[in-house]
């Protein structure tokens, strides 16, 4: 079973690249982030023609997540619990082939300090609570998405350049560590423990892609029952090099 995460940075602009990638990589499940459209504007017909069902939690012009799956998915939760006033579309959870899968688009948090960074940390705390509930229930689960956290210095092309960024602040990293230390396996680092340039995002600015000035901010976390089935994990760098590509590369795992 192949499970992928892909921040598409606008489904309207990126649909041709997404359909090409789905045909090439053939994931069983693809978690999308930053679709930037309301549910009614999501290209369901095109996705269905490519062989996928779609669950969508969208938002006009911003954010938005989706779960594409070859087998029908059963929606479990739309939106992250813990704050009834939060209207941002950043979390979608569903059951697919007896695996609970969440598509996650964590807040960026810039500029920091400030209200956007406070929202990021509060959102991380809510995610930690939801993950703990899934773990306590022993649910086979995959938490996949754009976490907007680079966990270690080696996940950043230049700490000097990024020193003030919300993605690398000690509080952001500590929250991510607390989440992982519940007992989740970080799939990419589990399979590629020594890779010093394991990036998943390259900004459009300053020639970041051609000079490989990237960040590792897209993560796939596995509960123990799923981690035991992990076969491989991969960053599909080639997709980032396509014409009019997203600034993120897809990340996928294979489980038995």
Residue with tokens 């992250």: 80
Instruction: Convert 176-188 to b/e letters by CB count within 10 Å (16 or more is b).
Output: beebeeeebbbbb
Tokens representing residue 201 in the block: 């995002």
pTM: 0.97
φ, ψ for residue 208 (rounded to 5)? -60, -40
Q: What is the DSSP string of 37-56?
A: S-GGGS-HHHHHHTT-EEEE
Match domain 2-255 to its CATH number in 3.30.565.10, 3.60.10.10, 2.60.120.330, 3.40.190.10.
3.60.10.10
The C-alpha angle 83, 110, 222, rounded to 5 degrees, equals 60
Which pLDDT score is estimated for 216? 98
The 10 Å Cβ neighbour count of residue 98 is 9
Strand partners, 6: 32
> Residue ranges of the domains in the chain?
2-255
Q: What is the dihedral of CA 35, 37, 39, 40, to 10 degrees?
A: -130
Give, for all 256 residues of the chain, the pLDDT tens digit. Answer: 999 999 999 999 999 999 999 999 999 999 999 999 999 999 999 999 999 999 999 999 999 999 999 999 999 999 999 999 999 999 999 999 999 999 999 999 999 999 999 999 999 999 999 999 999 999 999 999 999 999 999 999 999 999 999 999 999 999 999 999 999 999 999 999 999 889 999 999 999 999 999 999 999 999 999 999 999 999 999 999 999 999 999 999 999 9
Q: What is the DSSP string of 144-178?
A: EEE-----SGGGBS-HHHHTT-GGG-HHHHHHHHH
Which pLDDT score is estimated for 196? 87
| Total length of the chain | 256
Pair 105, 65: CB distance under 8 Å: yes
């Amino acid at each position: 079973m192949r499970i992928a995460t892909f921040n598409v940075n606008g489904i309207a602009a990126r649909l041709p690249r997404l359909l090409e990638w789905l045909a090439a990589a053939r994931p069983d499940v693809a978690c999308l982030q930053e679709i930037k459209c309301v549910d009614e504007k999501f290209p369901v017909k095109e996705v269905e023609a490519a062989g996928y069902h779609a669950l969508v939690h969208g938002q006009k012009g911003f954010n938005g997540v989706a779960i594409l799956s070859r087998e029908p998915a059963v929606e479990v939760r739309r939106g992250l619990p813990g704050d009834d006033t939060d209207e941002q579309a950043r979390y979608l959870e569903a059951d697919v082939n007896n695996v609970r899968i969440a598509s996650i688009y964590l807040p960026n948090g810039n500029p920091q300090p400030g209200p956007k960074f406070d929202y990021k940390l509060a959102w991380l705390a809510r995610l930690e609570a939801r993950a703990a509930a899934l773990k306590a229930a022993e649910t086979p689960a995959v938490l996949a998405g754009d976490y907007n956290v680079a966990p270690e210095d080696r996940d950043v092309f230049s700490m000097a350049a990024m020193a003030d960024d919300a993605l690398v602040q000690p509080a952001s990293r500590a929250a991510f560590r607390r989440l992982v230390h519940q007992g989740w396996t970080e799939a990419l680092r589990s399979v590629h423990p020594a890779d010093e340039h394991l990036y998943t995002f390259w900004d459009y600015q300053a020639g970041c892609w051609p000079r490989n000035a990237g960040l590792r901010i897209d993560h796939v976390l596995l509960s123990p029952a799923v981690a035991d089935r992990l076969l491989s994990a991969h960053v599909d760098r080639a997709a980032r090099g396509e014409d009019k590509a997203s600034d993120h590369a897809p990340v996928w795992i294979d489980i038995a």
